[in-house]
Each structure stands twice: as structure tokens, then as C-alpha cells.
Amino acid sequence: MAQPDVEVFWANFEQEIGEKILSRTMGQHFSSHKSQGEWGLIVLTASAIRFRPTPGENWFQSLFKMAAPKVPQEPLSDIVLPLAFIKSIELPKKRFFDFLFSPPFTIFTLRYRLGDEEQSLLLGADPKSELFDKLLASLPVSNGK
């Protein structure tokens, strides 16, 4: 995508969601700790964190298949979590060989309360991204498993 196209994309994205984007990065959403996750955009606004899936096969899978990637006809829904609902961000415990064997993105859990129930959202993001820094600065941090 050329630079003007990228700017138009993000301007349209802001118009669609009705909020200014504070930070954004590529990331993953995991349905569980054992899932491979789905790739998408993680977007932070003043009121929410949003995950927008970007459907399609990853580059590694496409090496082994001759057919075109299976992209759904209907766009997938965004996952939108209001920041006011988030109670903490849980980071994985660091182990000795993590720098060699862990994924390049930090997989973290957002703990939030929806009504009387505590729930969680499992995401992965580049630990060097501005979005990750902003989340860490604005949320209580706990060390997970």
C-alpha cells in the first residue's frame, strides 16, 4: 500500500469507529492459550481497545497450498473492549530461554469485568510497539502463568 493509501485507510477507519486512534499495531487474538490465533489490527482509542481480524491465510500456510486463501465473504466483527471494563493486564512470566523459544509477540491477557462476571481477552502484540507501552502505562499489571 502506498503512503497516501495507508493514510486514507486510517482516516476511513477513524470515521467508521467515530473515534481518534491513539495507537495501532498488528497483533493476534487467541481464543485459548492453545489456539494458533488469528491475525488482525489492534487499535487503541481513548475509550476502547479494538481487535479487527484480517482474514486470510498466513504466508507460511500459503507456501504449502496451491489454492487461493479462504477469505470470508462477510467481514468478521471487531472485538471491542471498553477500557473502563478492564481491571488489569496480565503478562506472562519470563523464563530463562524465552528469548530463544518464545513467539516474537508478547501474548498478554486483559482481565475485565462484564456485569458480575470476570472475563479475559487473550491478545498478542509487539512488545516494542507504542500501543503496548500505552496499555502498560494505563492499566494495572500482574504477572501470569
Alpha-carbon dihedral sign for residues 108, 9, 73, 48: positive
Position 128 scores a pLDDT of: 86
Position 5 scores a pLDDT of: 85
Which residue reads 498478542 in cell numbers?
124
Position 45 scores a pLDDT of: 96
What are 13-33's pLDDT values in tens digits?
999 999 999 999 999 999 988
The stretch 1-20 carries a mean pLDDT of: 88
User: Which class does domain 23-143 fall in?
Assistant: mainly beta
> 109 pLDDT exceeds 90?
yes
> 60 pLDDT exceeds 80?
no
> 105 pLDDT exceeds 60?
yes
Task: Delimit the domains of the chain by residue range.
Answer: 23-143
Type and span of the H or E element at 107: strand 106-114
The answer to whether 21 and 42 have CB atoms below 8 angstroms apart is: no
pTM across the whole model: 0.79
What are 62-92's pLDDT values in tens digits?
445 444 444 444 556 899 999 999 999 998 7
The stretch 32-59 carries a mean pLDDT of: 85
